């Protein structure tokens, strides 16, 4: 369900960004920021730590935006912040779920 919501947001953002791409004088970029909760990874899976996991989340979204939505790669940036920029510091499953996220920021290049 969350994936479908994300795809809908990306499609809406894509249509808006394509309009921006045709505007002269606007040098924009979509910054895709990946975040994790503060639970350490075991190191046994595909990611060594939360830094790698957050970067992989962001990179997956960037590749989707390139491959499926046609956004030019020069207009995208994938960034991983690990657990170090939480939206909440509460120690509950709900709070940790809020910290596992992707943020999209439309900004000047």
Residue 16 token pair? 């808006």
| Greater model confidence, 22 or 53 | 53
Res 25 pLDDT > 60:
yes
Evaluate if residue 94 carries a pLDDT over 60: yes
pLDDT category at 45 given cuts 50, 70, 90 is very high
Tokens of 15: 């249509």
Rounded Cα distance between 86 and 96, Å, is: 9
List the structure tokens of 41: 């990874």
Of 108, 4, 25, 10, nearest to 58 by C-alpha is 10
- Between 88 and 5, residue with greater pLDDT: 88
Chain segment 48-75, per-residue pLDDT in tens:
999 999 999 999 999 999 999 999 999 9
Question: What residues contact residue 69 under an 8 Å CB cut-off, 6+ apart?
Answer: 10, 11, 14
């Amino acid at each position: 369900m969350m994936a479908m919501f994300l795809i809908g947001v990306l499609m809406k953002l894509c249509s808006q960004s394509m309009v921006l791409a045709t505007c002269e004088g606007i040098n924009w970029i979509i910054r895709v920021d990946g975040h994790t909760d503060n639970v350490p990874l075991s190191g046994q899976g595909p990611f060594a730590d939360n830094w790698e996991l957050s970067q992989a989340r962001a990179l997956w979204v960037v590749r989707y935006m390139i491959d499926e939505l046609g956004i030019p790669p020069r207009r995208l940036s994938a960034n991983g912040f690990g657990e170090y920029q939480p939206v909440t510091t509460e120690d509950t499953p709900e709070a940790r779920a809020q910290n596992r996220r992707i943020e999209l920021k439309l900004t000047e290049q």
